[in-house]
Amino acid sequence: MGMPDDAELGSQFRRYAEWWTRGGRADLEDLFDAIVGADQTGFPMEPALDSLSRVDPRTLWKTFANDDLQDLYDCAQKAGLPGAAARFLNAARQAPVLDDGKIPRQLREQAMQRAGHRCQVCGATEHLSIDHKIVPWSEGGSSRDIDNLQVLCVSCNSRKGARPLTASRRPSNEKARGPSKRTRSSPG
């Protein structure tokens, strides 16, 4: 009857799922809903789980609560995708615990001591503050990891804020390669 076979359907859907995971947070949440509802709907969850599990872990834990990541882990286990399950688990483990962006007092003191109570850029000893170093908190950087903290004076801190953060630049594999083959049955 001209039905595409399973393998062909699988690869078509995989392309679609990959495009979906590049779409942003709302799309990821939609995909999650589709996956956890797959039992009822027959949604092909294997390629979707696989694609979703390959999303940057930081994006995963920023998008999904740990309970959700646990659900995805369970789904991947059930679907016989141990690699995807491991990636979901990894993302859950990377999620900081109740990281509200505030740096715990003890950690502030530790960072100050380590820096010798000096600005780590210019060596100033006044108007110091603790700053998220490599990854800003707004982009998922941890406030609970001393290696993501540095001591800066006011002027170095404001200079830092003005320049583009190269550390958070992603590898540029986000060339929109959406479902490019839009098979249009042209009349004629």
Q: Which residues of the chain form contacts with Zn ion (CB under 5 A)? A: 119, 121-122, 124, 153, 156
* Closer of 48 and 119 to Zn ion (Cβ): 119
Q: How far is the CB of 161 from Zn ion (least distance, A)?
A: 13
Nearest to 142 by CA among 67, 28, 86, 58: 58
Identify any residues that bridge with 129 across adjacent strands, giving them in sequence order: 152
Q: How far is the CB of 135 from Zn ion (least distance, A)?
A: 20
Q: How far is the CB of 126 from Zn ion (least distance, A)?
A: 10
Helix or strand holding residue 132 (H, E): strand 128-132
* Closer of 91 and 156 to Zn ion (Cβ): 156
Q: How far is the CB of 124 from Zn ion (least distance, A)?
A: 4
What distances in angstroms separate CA 144 from CA 22, 43, 113, 119, one per listed residue?
29, 39, 16, 20
Are 91 and 135 within 8 A, CB to CB? no
**Which residue in the block uniquely carries the two structure tokens 């949604």?**
43
* Closer of 17 and 149 to Zn ion (Cβ): 149
Nearest to 57 by CA among 112, 117, 135: 135
Q: How far is the CB of 154 from Zn ion (least distance, A)?
A: 8
* Closer of 54 and 118 to Zn ion (Cβ): 118
* Closer of 138 and 158 to Zn ion (Cβ): 158
